[in-house]
Amino acid sequence: MHHPRAWLAAALVAGVGFPASLWAQEPAQGNALLIRAEHLIVKPGVVLENAQVSVKDGRIVAVGVDLQPLPGAQEVRGKWVSAGLIDAWSTLGVDPESVADGNVTPATRSADAVDPWLQAHLRREALRAGVVAVRAQAGLAARVGGVGAVVRLAEGLDDAQRFVARDAVMWATVGLGAGAPGGFQIVDGEFVQMPGQRGMDVFERIDMVDRLLAQVVAGRGYLVAMNEHKHELAEWKKKVSEKEAELEKDAKKAKKDRDKAESDAKEKGKPFEEKKYKEDFKKPADPRFDEDSEAWSLVADGAIPLLVHVNRDAELRALLAGLEGVGRLRLVVAGGAESARHAKHLAKQGVAVLVNALPMGSGRSDEYDAHDLSLAARLGKDGVKVAIGSGGMSPDATRDLALLAAQLVGHGLPRVDAMAGVTTNAAEVLGVERAMGTVEVGKHADLVVWNAEPLSTAASAEYVVSAGRVVLAPEQQ
């Protein structure tokens, strides 16, 4: 049963049918599990030797050294155990058309683009490589890609378990497509390069930043307007009930006066006129409902982080300056090829950077896509929180997330920061740090049992526990 006002309030918080709780979804009920590990990576840099993790109803209930299995718990054993890796920049399991869709709006929910039957073999390989969840994002190259979701890769999960967060982040891009070359086509048997997109000059790119900032500010304005309206509506209701009480009180008197006036008028033969009733208060007009502004209000409110794919220095500076004023906004820079210069400023502002770890050939159109793999190290040195993504170029790159993280270690990033980049920092960047990223009591049970140290070359997952259930075991090879 929906009382109209309740609906309006719910819509305000939930936006276009966003569920009230934005990130914590109830994981699976059911069986108990005990995982024994020679080395348990509780969180990057903290390793317990010969430790156990106890899981009940999809949650971690105990982490310790000499735990006893819960009654009826299934036991799983392995050399290394860590929290499942999260790929914050992937296109695995997302409908390719939606990823490439140009006319998405801020209110588009990428959760709708997740196709649980798609690329099943690639998802199995990613699980075998220890990646348990990815950010699903439609409109990856669109100016504003809409609201991304964090989705588990395991199969056979129902909707509640599949989404760690249906509406996790807002995705936007600035300055992309600086002259991407056209694709290659066979014309009459010849490999012919089609004309590419015209490059954007710096003014167009700065203009993109301004338009993005305008939308954030508008979202904030919409939020304020909604709150004000809620406020005014309450006030108006108070006044109405007061007025009604007052009228109810002297209704009898009014009735008497009216009868008298009516009889007088009849005597004098003049037509009887009702008393004029005026009210000095008016119902506040409902604000125009707009899904896009609803979505932006969530960003302005800090309910979901804003991920912006930006590479060049000019746009980055304009973006940081523009968003400085917006209070509770949680900004994350994605890509950030030239962000190393602003590392100190980013660290001070608490802005994290999502690095694209996929090495690209120098022949790329946008020279900023030829990622310099030492970017993560240089940012990390100055205290910037670095998350690592597989870059979303192709769905099967997610499988190699651990290798890409190891490669960043090879280019100067400390090993512990690389592990954080694919677990804790990735969870934080996506706003699901309370649900995933570490092996701590209360968090969802998304764990991987490895046959070797997670970032080593020969590492692969022997068991994967996702949403509290064993979703991958050795014999499923």
Span 28-67, contacts to another protein by CB under 8 A: none
Q: In the complex, what is the shortest distance from the CB of residue 299 to another protein, in angstroms, rounded to a whole number?
A: 17
Nearer to another protein, 253 or 268 (CB): 253
Give, as ranges, the residues between 229 and 248 that touch another protein (CB under 8 A). 240, 243-244, 247-248
Amino acid at 143: R
List the one residue out of 307, 343, 371, 304 whose CA is nearest residue 140.
307
Nearer to another protein, 198 or 243 (CB): 243
Question: Residues 9, 17, 46, 473: which binds another protein (CB under 8 A)?
Answer: 17
Between the CA of residue 5 and those of 184, 234, 264, what are the distances in Å? 55, 11, 46
Q: In the complex, what is the shortest distance from the CB of residue 350 to another protein, in angstroms, rounded to a whole number?
A: 27
Residue 386 engages another protein in binding (rule: CB under 8 A)? no
Give, as ranges, the residues between 418 and 447 that touch another protein (CB under 8 A). 418
Question: Residues 25, 52, 54, 98: which binds another protein (CB under 8 A)?
Answer: 98
Give, as ranges, the residues between 263 and 302 that touch another protein (CB under 8 A). 274-275, 277, 279, 283, 286, 289, 291
Nearer to another protein, 138 or 316 (CB): 138
Give, as ranges, the residues between 387 and 406 that touch another protein (CB under 8 A). 390, 393-394, 396-397, 399-400, 403-404, 406
- Span near another protein by CB under 8 A; candidates 169-177, 222-230, 322-330, 451-459: 451-459
Q: In the complex, what is the shortest distance from the CB of residue 403 to another protein, in angstroms, rounded to a whole number?
A: 6
SS3 content of the chain, % helix, strand, coil (to 5): 35, 25, 40
Question: Residues 40, 83, 101, 316: which binds another protein (CB under 8 A)?
Answer: 101
Contacts of 3 (CB under 8 A, 6+ apart): none
Residue 464 engages another protein in binding (rule: CB under 8 A)? no
CB-facing half-sphere around the CA of 148: CA atoms within 13 A: 32
Question: Residues 105, 193, 197, 476: which binds another protein (CB under 8 A)?
Answer: 105
What are the helix (H) ranges across 336-395? 343-349, 375-381
State how beta strands 85-87 and 306-310 pair: unpaired
- Span near another protein by CB under 8 A; candidates 55-63, 306-314, 437-445, 458-466: 458-466
CB-facing half-sphere around the CA of 152: CA atoms within 13 A: 28
Query: For the chain, how far is it from start to end, CA to CA, in angstroms?
Result: 49
Residue 103 engages another protein in binding (rule: CB under 8 A)? yes
Residue 141 engages another protein in binding (rule: CB under 8 A)? no
What are the helix (H) ranges across 250-330? 251-268, 291-300, 313-324
Question: Residues 107, 212, 449, 464: which binds another protein (CB under 8 A)?
Answer: 107
Question: Residues 132, 216, 358, 375: which binds another protein (CB under 8 A)?
Answer: 358
Binding string, 180-219, against another protein, x = CB under 8 A?
--------xxxx----------------------------
- Dig out the tokens for 247 from the structure: 């009228």
CB neighbour class for 475 (10 Å; exposed up to 12, middle 13-18, buried from 19): exposed
Question: Residues 55, 329, 333, 373: which binds another protein (CB under 8 A)?
Answer: 373
Tokens 């046959």: give the residue. 451
Nearer to another protein, 314 or 393 (CB): 393
- 74 within 8 A of 34, measured Cβ to Cβ: yes
Q: In the complex, what is the shortest distance from the CB of residue 357 to another protein, in angstroms, rounded to a whole number?
A: 8
Spatial separation of the C-alpha atoms in residues 411 and 418, rounded to whole Å: 11
Residue 161 engages another protein in binding (rule: CB under 8 A)? no
Question: Residues 211, 231, 238, 258: which binds another protein (CB under 8 A)?
Answer: 258
Contacts of 352 (CB under 8 A, 6+ apart): 332, 333, 346, 384, 385, 386, 387, 425, 428, 429
> What is the full DSSP assignment across 349-407?
HT-EEEEE-----TT-SSGGGS--TTHHHHHHHTT--EEEE-TTSSGGGGGGHHHHHHH
Spatial separation of the C-alpha atoms in residues 170 and 222, rounded to whole Å: 17
